[in-house]
Structure 1
């Protein structure tokens, strides 16, 4: 009997295809899976893959999610997944839920309020049937002006949103399309309400529905955050309101209650009355409307009775196990929100977020000392308090290099101030991320660097214990290198791995980069510059263990002070060793060996070093120069670029099968092809063609692997292949199979017809004497592979 995946592939997909549900109308939303706490230990649950059926409404516009489909094994009751599908249908804000075993299907439709227990899958509703039912149930005509915003594509690309954000936006736009002008949205803090607001405003503006919008917040930092997001979409059409500039000419205004003069401390809202007459705004969004008492901002709504009023809140519908006046106040605010706006059109709680498991297995925190942006010249160094790092003696002019770059720091030039600043910054981050007692490995540039880092971390720890009244634990930070003796490196590693009350921070150079298993390691820290992708991945591998007992650790952090994480996605290629030059410390050429190069130490208080937060970044090339772009911003740029260059998925597909057009597109993307390949690595889509990476980013289609596309070619194109001669069919299927090997480029090699399976099935001769030229069939095969 077939399992779920086989049932879907062999039984469900072919029938759905005949009923009109083509590949572009079936989306897959994948959640990473939440965590269970069992006996005090976290255990990761398997993530979900939810199948959404979508309606084709207008050509060139994204299809609209309409139903959730649960696929079960063919020997399971067809109703087995229906209750689950009903739950997910609410979460996805779709009115129809289906469950099928590949032979029969069951259905729940919100329009009928009843369950159909079993029907033949061949009778599955077509897109046209569900479109009619949706419009009747929602009282919306999807091709009407009122519903236009529902069909607008995301400005920053489908892949930049989570499924619940899309569901929330659709819920709001459906309510507005039904003629309602008051809408309430309830999502837990941290779920991206600002993202929802900016994309919501974009869709309504693109549909031509916004005359002027107000986004109202209650804190300056929220205003700054909102301004950044909205200007990223609207440019100068989004402006903040200040007491000096009411920004009345902007399309989208961002303001605080205080600026508008409408707080409880303001007896008369003079600024508001003077600058914003009645019905000045067509749309108003109140962010965090649970934060303020109802009367403080109600004037904004009452002065704009014809506007669309949207309230965003994190207030839960019900407060349990709480007592006291604070609870009463919370309940009053919630009641006022619901009284004015009505019941929330969509809700997503903290528990929902935890169950879905939206947590990263690895968090990358990028930092950089500002001195690393500089080159330090000999003349500058000579003016500082310097000495031989090992002996403390004076150094001669000849001992100092002409130029030191960041890659030389702590290897050839020891900078006390840099070491102290980086250690202090890291120690603060350990406190911020949970505890100073986190098992960590710091990769250092040299033996003496590892010594100094260990000493500084210990001193910071002793000071922290003294300040906070803690008894210091033994061997908090220690150096563990090949030179370690008494205790030996082996003993130190055993303590790092096994002890829970000592040996927390290990400083090393190379020793701990390979072959060391520390399952409960919390952090991998880069204080050294790394060039080798192989070394980098080995070092990262120290943190990838999932804990002891297995599964007890769900994530670890990379603290990157030297841009080491740029090596994610790089090929495992190392540069050949350079031959020794005369005078190197191993000697050569018959001359006497010279002593090792001195490490110059620059004493404390000679430089003011500030460690900067660089977030998560990606390395791109712009105007011939390598630049770091924050990763999420890069993905938004990439999604926007895709949307600008190709209007829809079909255009991307036809562009992709043309080698010249494909290369031009890749060249015009931010960072070019190499940056896109890096995204593929970071998104763990290595088994996909770059086409699927772009389709995911720009249009929200879940990537298919090369093998999935190649494997499904035969049955998906059965009708097209049917009239062709058998040798032709066999050759085209063989050519499609090569896609699994290397993607689209594998079908463009000069030796295509010399490939063993292609040649065995008839080769080039199988494509001649046909109604079309051979090139037509190759191109059509490529197009159909990407369908």
Structure 2
């Protein structure tokens, strides 16, 4: 305890940590909360991943000072702490924001003298003394009363999670919200539930925890997991649902065995094509299943007259949970019409901002033939001697009605150029118009990558539904430890349900008219794997499909399509020929093909999106200048702020949060050798930039290093050389001493002694930074 001169307590000198340790934690513990119910500095996000060059760095995590748990799976309150220079209720807005995000009913703020309580169930706020903080049982009883939870329902709601002591995997905060809301809704009698969670956010893990808790509580003993693709079933069984392995089975050959408890099945295994015959699912009684989980429920099960829907209607008494990243609404298909409005939604945008999903870059490439169209000269015949109909063909026709060989070649060249600049072994999916186009694209990519194909012919593979060998390679493609295949071409097969965590590049060379399909395809890249060098993913768009990012439906509610054909293909058709061109006699798979039309890439744009997913203005430099000037009104103010900060990356993070993307700016400015400092000064304050090498040489010319000798001088000279090539990063931490070329001088401790100790070494680094940026 700190005493003032008069002998009284000097509360103003107590830090927030002092107040927590001396006053807040004891008050909470005295109310009956044991250590298993208290989480200190609880981080519930990972911190948004920011892109820097080919790598990334994390932003700050969101942390609650205290998370209070009634049971290990039931968070019930958050407490935000302040020091005694603040009022006791200064943190209530922050606590309330965390409580809303986490789905927690009670929020508290305190400075160690009093508590402010906000009851989100009733809206009531009140002040409490430090001795009046409620016990766990008090808060739980208030929650139960507000929600009208019966003792029978309470037993189900409080069922523990499944916990694997080996993986130690626990639900993230949004998964916890989805799990608890679902369990509570089912316990209280709700039988149709829709959960909407962005691709890559763990829908199957969430589904498993829901199924396990209901099964273990004895409420749902017979469970059916439905999907329409084998990979969705197989991945789920060997991964998230593996704890059920002794009681689960996969239905094959339409063979139904009633002795199991957990069933996995394709829709196709439960129906016959002949609607007049007895259906396989009718081998079970209508009340056989207690719970049905429908994966990717936006597809067949959402259509009123589908055979798949009949399965769900037959087992109508079962609780049915639909799970999807992309609910769909049009004239014939309605996900919400069957399952109801989403009980919980976790969007792509939220996942990126929380740091659980990968951010993305967009590279849009315009080909002259796509932008201008192609019209054959009179009496033009294709390579097979067939007369080509005289009309203008455009991007909707290419590879669907007419093949231009050089167009395929240019796409393959551009993809290869990008991979050579970044990572030739970065997993890549190229989405094509159809299976035949995917085969031709594979051949074109092979020709552009002959060196790597010669090393391993699986470097580029086609994976489509009719390619048996390609489908065999799918497991290798999605395996994080397998190098091959690296590039795959596909049409529909990989557009959904394929969990390729290391996919770095998605190439769009198909016409995507459905928002649902667009979302699903983009979802192939959203997994984050920094441990495998994946900090973000790139979308390379040849057909303008990424314009759908501007659609308000992209990250919102299900697409509404009242004008379409029932397959998500509503809206204007775009520039086309007269309608009869679509209705001409056209043989199955028959296309014109020409090999004497030259194609060029005439437009390339690197597009930047802000934190809300909105496209930033085309004039990136002007837009960025305005945002920098909003933060720093003058060059002097910026330089002062730069020099004051020990870690310059903090400025990069601040600017990123205000939509200033330095890597994209550096590319737009056309100078890769500019330091972040010079780039900002140049863009915002019109100051002539110096290269990193010029700044390093200026330090040497000023004989700044003469005051050091021996190893100390060699270390600083080496740092200047590294700065000239790599930037300021190594000067912000002494960890560089463990790497070449510095390890030749001995251990970090030994090197620090050459400077007089660790603190003197750090002072030398700070002085060197100031010297680098001196005028």
TM-score range, shorter chain: 0.3 to 0.5
